[in-house]
Structure 1
Amino acid sequence: MSAFTAVDVIRTKRDGGVLSDPQIDWVVDAYTRGLVADEQMSALAMAILLRGMTPPEIGRWTAAMIASGERLDLSAIDRPTADKHSTGGVGDKITLPLTPLVAACGAAVPQLSGRGLGHTGGTLDKLESIPGWRAALHNDEFIAQLRDVGAVICAAGEGLAPADRKLYALRDVTGTVEAIPLIASSIMSKKIAEGTGALVLDVKVGSGAFMKSVDDARELARTMVELGTAHGVRTVALLTDMSTPLGLAVGNAVEVTESVEVLAGGGPADVVELTLALAREMLAAAGLPAADPAAALADGRAMDSWRAMIRAQGGDPDAPLPVAHETETVRAAADGYVASVDAYAIGVAAWRLGAGRARKEDPVSAAAGIVLHRKPGDRVRAGDPLYELRTDDPSRLTAALATTAEAVTVVAAAAPTPTPLVIERIG
């Protein structure tokens, strides 16, 4: 008979107490095995959201989630390993050019990624726009591709942190997604279990991010850096602005197209800036500070790495991508300057057009999305295009147009200086 009960663990945290190591180990293991019910774990998650956790509690909770499954062994890889994780944003396609770029510079990148939910896009959804590309790899395929190509973007295997998989789904439907201890332990349990030697965290802050304030983003970043360091993973974090969508494309196929433009040496300035900033951090953390990612973009090595990565997972890098059948262009009503583009509104509109999902099992449209024609600071004339909505289902346009009605603000005077893309470095 167990020394603990779920109700006793819930009460401890509900009343502001500190969970003991044995309590944490028991409740995570028991929930994974189905001995603690969803409604009980829901109550505990809400108590954690309201009462918080101490750093030792978060550390033990993360370790318990790692222990719920397997840990990948990357010792057969003859390059240093480095990974990146973003907390999610709008137009955040950075993983796509970043992974092959860092591989082209000499590191191996074991990038386990996820799918979009709500207003934030998912890396796997974007890549599945490419004909033939597959997200699911067995562990031996994952290791072989990492060794041979140096770059993998795929779904996490069923065996990695299964406790997190159950708890993540529960948090999404119980209003506890925002609990910083649970966000940090969710992200870090998977990243530590995947076996990478170095990790760079891109913690988004702003209207299009889960963290709306710099203080909350900083707390989350510090918590994750401490967790990674405690588990022997060289970890740093960048706080980056997500008040404006990244780049000009928001969706699935349109973001793949923009990523390929970056790999070809072009692309929007903000996407290039953040890709290079994160690449330099990853390479430094992997012990390759002399590598020059800008040169790898310019000379074609990054593009070669991308093509090899896509082919290795069954995709055709030369195949045409899906194109939406229905489009609607929104134009400026008056002369002026673009003062802001609300990332959250654009993200929700892209979701309404079919680019995202309300539930994990929902399908997504590869062709749906939004293409911006102007960014903050740009001058516009009346009648100039501001953005274009794309969808295969014309019935979706009305709701999307309503969502974006006030997404782009145009002012008569010159727009204020935008917030720097990289706000702060932690670690």
Structure 2
Amino acid sequence: MDARAVIAAVRKHETPPPEALVWFAQGLASGAVSDAQAGAFAMAVVLNGLSQEGRVALTQGMRDSGDVLSWDLPGPVLDKHSTGGVGDCVSLILAPVLAACGAYVPMISGRGLGHTGGTLDKLEAIPGVDVNVPERRLRLITREVGCAIVGASTTIAPADRRLYAIRDVTATVESVDLITASILSKKLAAGLEGLVLDVKCGSGAFMKTHEDAKTLAQALVSTANGAGCKTAALITDMNQPLAPALGNALEVAICMEVLSGNAAVAPRLHELTVSLCVQVLAMQGAHPDDALDKVRDALSSGAAMERFAHMIAALGGPPDMAQDWHTHLPKAPVVGEVTAPQSGYISAIDGEALGLIVVGLGGGRQVETDQIDPAVGLSEVVSLGQVVQRGDPLCVLHAADEDSAMAAAQAIQAAITIGAKASQGPLVLEGVS
């Protein structure tokens, strides 16, 4: 096995043998592959790509470069991954819903990236919650509660951690093959039996076009299935925020409303959560109609809320989250409406711009060492096709001070276009299996 031979093969549009790619992944974790070799490999893959066989081998090698969990539980071990968007807090609802349906969800999640929020950052808006738990604790919470949303330990897919850091500084992040291996190596290390993917496209997504999203979805689905995990994907619309709230505590508040049975407060969030739950349950053999009934009952009966509250308490949060969540979530000192400068229809929403506005308010990180303000963000955001009169609210702004509020208000008005009548397209654009 020789790193130079692997790099040379990819450079010549050849696929290295699977065992060579597995060795290369192990070398990333052990240090046998140098930074220069890792960077050269990443650039070769960006320029020339890998075959399907090569992508599966690289993913499996990166998965196996650290700990791979195995489970002995009385139900299927399932999970979900989203490629990222604004107002996307599906995970906080989906995990307890699946747990209430008899599945087990050891969800290893991430933090905010660019203009998109991170599931771990949202959870940490709840006082006392600690998402950095050892494997023993992850196993205990998953078995007792049915779901645990936690951060990845340093022993999960260390090859990916090393390669991603090198990709970040060598302009080699944007590769479907490397994105696929990065996402799946961490997810598959959790020992899953089924995985559903939410691949987003539109103004608030990383993939702006349906075509690009479909390419990534097909790569993810075929690679995960090739690596032995039943996987399907939904391609979904992100031309407006998924929930009418952006910001960590504000998104948790929306999730608590949906878990309380109030679907009307965030109909798109509710619809997508239900669709993803039904998809992953159906992959395990459930009839779609039966799965739909179980998911709806988990929400309407309060069973999903009970699981969520139990998980929060197990992670160090308040024991009464289900009853008194309003009192536990932090609130910004400056709150006010951002109003429409003219009358008309909401014809376009720049989701990426809104996400960056929240980051600028302190709701995300501009450098890795930034401390997040969990209280800031936007709530009651308008939706596409909505009619507004001049002076009507476009959203409610939550800020730390008046200066940041004023700057954000102007940027929000620029990010929301008021013009000719526009209608909402479907939320779920296509399934990939």
Give, in whole Å, the separation in 1 of the partners of 2:402 and 2:157. 41
Aligned pair partner of 1:34 in 20, 31, 36: 31
Q: Kindly report which structure 2 residues correspond to 1:266-305, keeping only aligned pairs within 5 A, or say none.
A: 266=262, 267-289=265-287, 290-291=290-291, 292-305=294-307
Shift of 1:373: 3.5
Shift of 1:395: 4.5
Shift of 1:402: 5.0
Shift of 1:389: 2.7
Contact 2:245-2:381 at 8 Å conserved across structures: no
For residue 390 of structure 1, what is the aligned residue in structure 2?
398
Give, in whole Å, the separation in 2 of the partners of 1:346 and 1:239. 21
Contact 2:122-2:249 at 8 Å conserved across structures: yes
Give, in whole Å, the separation in 2 of the partners of 1:177 and 1:226. 20
Report the AA paired with residue 421 of structure 1: L
For residue 162 of structure 2, what is the aligned residue in structure 1?
166
For residue 414 of structure 1, what is the aligned residue in structure 2?
421
For residue 230 of structure 2, what is the aligned residue in structure 1?
234
Question: Matched residue of 2:372: which SS?
Answer: coil
For residue 329 of structure 2, what is the aligned residue in structure 1?
321
1:348 aligns with 2:345: no
1:12 aligns with 2:18: no
Give, in whole Å, the separation in 2 of the partners of 1:370 and 1:142. 32
1:197 aligns with 2:193: yes
Report the AA paired with residue 309 of structure 2: R
String of CA shifts for 1:225-273, please: whole Å, max 9, x gaps: 1122123211110001111111111110000000000101113110110
Shift of 1:397: 3.8
Shift of 1:137: 1.6
String of CA shifts for 1:98-144, please: whole Å, max 9, x gaps: 11111111111111111012101100000001011110121121111
Shift of 1:398: 5.3
Report the AA paired with residue 87 of structure 1: T
Identity between Structure 1 and Structure 2 (%): 43
Q: Kindly report which structure 2 residues correspond to 1:237-248, keeping only aligned pairs within 5 A, or say none.
A: 237-248=233-244
Bigger CA drift: 102-111 or 368-377?
368-377
For residue 142 of structure 2, what is the aligned residue in structure 1?
146
Question: Matched residue of 1:406: which SS?
Answer: helix
Shift of 1:215: 1.6
Bigger CA drift: 315-324 or 99-108?
315-324
Report the AA paired with residue 26 of structure 2: D
Shift of 1:5: 4.1
Contact 1:198-1:285 at 8 Å conserved across structures: yes
Give, in whole Å, the separation in 2 of the partners of 1:53 and 1:403. 41
Contact 2:378-2:395 at 8 Å conserved across structures: yes
Question: Matched residue of 1:315: which SS?
Answer: coil
Bigger CA drift: 330-339 or 356-365?
356-365
Question: Matched residue of 2:254: which SS?
Answer: helix
Report the structure, 1 or 2, having the larger helix content.
2
For residue 360 of structure 1, what is the aligned residue in structure 2?
368
Shift of 1:78: 1.2
String of CA shifts for 1:47-82, please: whole Å, max 9, x gaps: 21121111111011111101211110112x111121
String of CA shifts for 1:340-369, please: whole Å, max 9, x gaps: 221111111111111111233332111111
Question: Matched residue of 2:148: which SS?
Answer: strand
| Residue-pair matches, total | 421
For residue 311 of structure 1, what is the aligned residue in structure 2?
313
Contact 1:323-1:367 at 8 Å conserved across structures: yes
Structure 1 gaps of 5+ residues are: none
Shift of 1:150: 0.5
Q: TM-score when scaled to structure 2?
A: 0.92
String of CA shifts for 1:182-230, please: whole Å, max 9, x gaps: 1111111111110111110011111211111212211211111112212
For residue 127 of structure 1, what is the aligned residue in structure 2?
123
Give, in whole Å, the separation in 2 of the partners of 1:300 and 1:5. 54
Contact 1:244-1:343 at 8 Å conserved across structures: yes
Structure 2 gaps of 5+ residues are: none
- Regions of 4+ moved over 4 Å: none
Shift of 1:274: 0.5
Q: TM-score when scaled to structure 1?
A: 0.94
Shift of 1:393: 4.5
For residue 209 of structure 2, what is the aligned residue in structure 1?
213
